[in-house]
Amino acid sequence: PQICAPGRSHFSTAVEPSSSKSNPPRVPNLIGGRFVDSKSSTVIDVINPATQEVVSQVPLSTDEEFKAAVSAAKKAYPLWRNTPITTRQRVMLKFQELIRRDMDKLALNVTTEQGKTLKDAQGDVFRGLEVVEHACGMATLQMGEYVSNVSHGIDTYSIREPLGVCAGICPFNFPAMIPLWMFPVAVTCGNTFVLKPSEKDPELALEAGLPEGVLNIVHGTHVCDHLDIVNSICDDDDIKAISFVGSNVAGMHIYSRAAAKGKRVQSNMGAKNHAIVLPDANVDATLNALVAAGFGAAGQRCMALSTVIFVGDAKSWKAKLVERAKALKVNAGTEPDTDLGPVISKQAKERIHKLVKSGVESGAKLLLDGRNIVVPGYESGNFIGPTILSDITTNMECYKEEIFGPVLLFMEADSLEEAISIINSNKYGNGASIFTTSGVAARKFQTEIEAGQVGINVPIPVPLPFFSFTGNKASFAGDLNFYDNVVCCSLVEPFDPILEKNTQRIALQTLYLKEDK
C-alpha cells in the first residue's frame, strides 16, 4: 500500500493511540526512475480509519530529495517531449491494461488506507482508469489549427506544445482517481511530472514503459520542520504548472503563491453541493439518489450532496428520507454489504461532531443522529452514522462550512426561484442537482444555476474525461476551466454502490427526456 495523504494521518510522534503492524512498510519516493527510501527520519503514520492500525509510513522528504525529483523531471523533458506522440500513447495503452490487471489489489489498498467500501474503492480506481483511456487518444486531442493564405502567400498554424515540468498536489479522498486525473494527461502531452503524494500506480506506470524521470514522486507535507514541500513546489522555477485538488485554505494559498511566481495553476477546491427537490419528481428514485449522494463514501466526496432544498409539498418526503438513511449499513469498508465506512481520521470525526453540535445549538432539528454509533468488531474506528439536520438557515456554521462527512442538511423553499437563489448565494459552486419531471423547470435550473457540474435527476453529475471537471466560485481557481457549465442530464452513470440498488432511475430519465420534446 503506498497511498500518502498527510491530512488524514499523523506524525509518528503523535500521542493518539494506534496499533502498529510490527514493521509497517515505509513508502519510498520515486526519483529518476528508481524507488528510493527517503533519508528523512521523520515519518507520517498512515492509519486504517476502521481499526487505527498503522498500515504504512510516509517519509517527510528532504529538500535534496525534492530538488533531485525536479531535476530528474527537467533532465527527462527534452527527450520525452520529442518522443513520438504515438509512442507516448502506447505507454498509456499499456498502463491502462496494468491498472485493469491490478484493479482489485489497488482497490483493497485504497480501502485499507482510506476506509471507503471496496465497491467505492473500485469506482475510485475505475474513474482514474477512464482518464488513462482518454489519454490514449492524445494525438487527436493535440491537433492544432491551420488556415491557409491568411495574407498573400502566408499560412498560419497553431501547435499545442508541452510546458515542461508540471506538478500535482493531491487530497486524501480519491487516492487513485485524483493522481490519475493529473499525470496521465500531462505526460502523454509530453510534459514530465512531480507528484505529491501518490499511491501504488507509479510502479505500474514504470512497468508500462514511462522512461526514467518522466514521473517522480516525493512525499511530504506543508506542516513540517524539515521542508514545506507544498511551498517548494510553488516556488521552484523549474516547475511550470501545478494541478491541485483539496480544501480552500490550501488551494487558495497554492494558487496565489504559485501564480505570483508566474506558474499556471489549476485549483479544484471545496464544495457545498445542493439538490433541489420539486414535488413533481419521482419519489422513489429521488429519495434513493439523495441517500446515495448524501451518505455514500461517508460524505467524503467533493461532489457529495450535502444540502437538500425541498420545494413546496416535497417537504412531506423528509420522513421517508430519514427512514432510508437509517437503513444504511455502517461498517468497515472491507465488510460485505457496507454502505458507508469510517471518516478518515479522529480529527475529521471531531470536526464533524462539532459542526453538528453547532447546528443544533443555533436552532437546527436533529432528525437523525449518527454520532454515537458503535460498530461491533471495529469499536475504535472513526465511524459516524448517517446524520440529518433540518430547519437549516443560511447563517448557520454547519451550512457555511463544508462538513465533508455523512451529514445531510434539509432546507425548504416556496418556489424554484427561491431555491435557485439560495444556491447561488452560497460561496461554493462545485455541483448542483435538481429532481423533477418538468422539462421547463429543468431547463430553468440548468440555465440559472451557478455551479460547475449540473445534474438533472442525476445526484452526482461527474463528467467523464472527454469533458472537463470544472467548478464555479470558491470551488475553483485557475485559467484552465474550459467550460463554465457541464450538464449531465441523463446518461452519465456516477459510480455509486448505494445508487446501483436503484432500478428506476433510467426510466425516470427517459420520461424526462420524452416530456422535454
List, by residue number, the catalytic residues: 302
Closest approach, Cβ 282 to ligand NAD, in A, equals 29
Q: Which amino acid is at 260?
A: A
Give the containing element (helix H, strand E) for 244.
strand 239-245
Q: Is 213 left (phi over 0), alpha (psi -120 to 50) or beta?
A: left
Nearer to ligand NAD, 297 or 413 (CB): 297
Rg of the Cα trace of the chain?
A: 23
Q: What is the DSSP-derived secondary structure letter of residue 26?
A: B
Give the sign of the dihedral formed by CA 339, CA 204, CA 29, CA 186: negative
Nearer to ligand NAD, 61 or 436 (CB): 61
Q: What is the DSSP-derived secondary structure letter of residue 340?
A: B
Closest approach, Cβ 121 to ligand NAD, in A, equals 15
Nearer to ligand NAD, 265 or 321 (CB): 265
Nearer to ligand NAD, 245 or 451 (CB): 245
Closest approach, Cβ 198 to ligand NAD, in A, equals 10
Q: Which residue is nearest to ligand NAD (CB)?
A: 246
> 137-144 contacts: CB < 8 A, separation 24 or more?
137/89, 138/85, 138/88, 138/89, 138/92, 138/185, 138/188, 138/189, 139/85, 139/86, 139/89, 142/85, 142/189
Closest approach, Cβ 196 to ligand NAD, in A, equals 6
- Report residue 443 as a C-alpha cell: 431547463
Which of 84, 88, 31, 86 lies closest to 62 in space, CA to CA?
A: 31
CB 43 within 8 A of CB 219: no
Which of 131, 166, 226 lies closest to 468 in space, CA to CA?
A: 131
Pairing status of strand 53-59 against strand 43-47: antiparallel
Nearer to ligand NAD, 5 or 308 (CB): 5
Q: What are phi and psi of 273, to 5 degrees?
A: -90, 130
Nearer to ligand NAD, 91 or 348 (CB): 348
CB 170 within 8 A of CB 58: no
Which of 425, 355, 368 lies closest to 396 in space, CA to CA?
A: 355
Closest approach, Cβ 420 to ligand NAD, in A, equals 21
Closest approach, Cβ 330 to ligand NAD, in A, equals 21
Interacting residues toward ligand NAD by CB under 6 A: 5-7, 169-174, 221-222, 230, 245-247, 249-250, 253, 268-271, 302, 402, 404, 430, 471, 475
Where do the H-state alpha helices sit in 396-465? 397-400, 416-425, 439-448
Q: Rounded distance, CA 157 to CA 149, Å? A: 11
Give the sign of the dihedral formed by CA 181, CA 182, CA 186, CA 187: negative
CB 220 within 8 A of CB 63: no
Closest approach, Cβ 344 to ligand NAD, in A, equals 8
Closest approach, Cβ 248 to ligand NAD, in A, equals 7
Nearer to ligand NAD, 111 or 345 (CB): 345
Nearer to ligand NAD, 247 or 358 (CB): 247
Helix (H, G, I), strand (E, B) or coil at 70: helix
